[in-house]
Amino acid sequence: MIRLLNGLVLLALSGCFSIGGEAGAPQVHYRLNDAGVAGVVRRAAPLVPTLLVQPLPADALADTTAIAYSRRPDQFAFYQLASWTERPVRSLPRLLQQRLQARGIATSVGLMGDALRGDWLLTVGIETLHHDVASPPGQARVGLSVELFDRRNHARMASRSFSAAVPTASADSAAAAAAMSLALAQAFDALLPWLEGELERAAAKPAS
């Protein structure tokens, strides 16, 4: 975390600028979205009655509306003329909730803090969300860490990390935002079958 923040400060002091000749363009806001939710096939029956999704605290890349890019490992800067409409640490868990609802994994899927009670909790942390331009036009990189908890037994049942990288069409914020939404969808595509398998095994065990 300290290394990440130091990298951000150094790049900011040296002059954070937009890649791809965006100087003079108006400020643009992009919405992070799940590009794959529309194609989700719903399960015949839910696995559990209720599943809650809890976001974990994020670092400087995800707990801001600024869109990050990186030219060198462990060094990051932000596009000056482009930003997210909402901090990813808030929008991404909601997108995951919508994907889980569309799949029908549980009868009800809510965010922690909603007026729902449930035996199953899925935490999601954002490990990375940035435009890697070490080799232009670069790649959009998304990394997630998730853990499944059985709240009946106060036990962690499973944990795993998921990552995806999608090539960007050009080295600019518009291409980066679009590719990050595609990368997020790919990460969700891998997460869902893993979660279904873990829930099937965990839900079959009696509560102690």
Cα–Cα distance measured from residue 123 to residue 134, given in angstroms and rounded to the nearest whole number: 31
What pLDDT shows up at residue 19? 57
* Burial readout 129-155 (b: 16 or more C-beta within 10 A, e: otherwise): bbbbbeeebbbbbbbbebbbbbeeeee
What pLDDT shows up at residue 1? 41
174-201 pLDDT tens trace: 999 999 999 999 999 999 999 999 999 8
* Pairing mode, strands 155-167 and 139-150: antiparallel
Q: What's the maximum distance between 2 C-alpha atoms anywhere in the chain?
A: 63
What pLDDT shows up at residue 33? 97
User: Cα torsion at 200, 201, 206, 208 (round to 10°)?
Assistant: -120
Cα–Cα distance measured from residue 138 to residue 71, given in angstroms and rounded to the nearest whole number: 9
Cα–Cα distance measured from residue 162 to residue 184, given in angstroms and rounded to the nearest whole number: 10
pLDDT higher than threshold 90 for residue 32: yes
Listed range (1-5, 103-107, 185-189) with the worst mean pLDDT: 1-5
Work out the pLDDT band at 208, boundaries 50, 70, 90.
Answer: low
Sorted by sequence, the CB contacts under 8 Å of residue 162 that are 6+ apart come out as 143, 144, 145, 146, 187, 190, 191, 194
Work out the pLDDT band at 23, boundaries 50, 70, 90.
Answer: low
64-104 pLDDT tens trace: 999 999 999 999 999 999 999 999 999 999 999 999 999 99
112-131 pLDDT tens trace: 988 788 899 999 999 999 99
The mean predicted confidence, pLDDT, of the chain is 89
- For 34, 83, 104, 146, 155, the CA distances from 100, given in Å and listed in that order, are 12, 27, 6, 14, 22
148-169 pLDDT tens trace: 999 988 899 999 999 999 999 9
pTM for this entry: 0.87
* Burial readout 176-198 (b: 16 or more C-beta within 10 A, e: otherwise): bbbbbbbbbbbbbbebbeebeeb
Work out the pLDDT band at 135, boundaries 50, 70, 90.
Answer: very high
pLDDT higher than threshold 80 for residue 13: no
Question: How many residues does this entry show for the chain?
Answer: 208
Sign of CA dihedral 142, 50, 52, 67: positive
Work out the pLDDT band at 3, boundaries 50, 70, 90.
Answer: very low
Q: Which CATH superfamily is domain 2-11+47-204 in?
A: ABC-type transport auxiliary lipoprotein component (3.40.50.10610)
How is the chain split into domains, by residue range?
2-11+47-204
pLDDT higher than threshold 60 for residue 202: yes
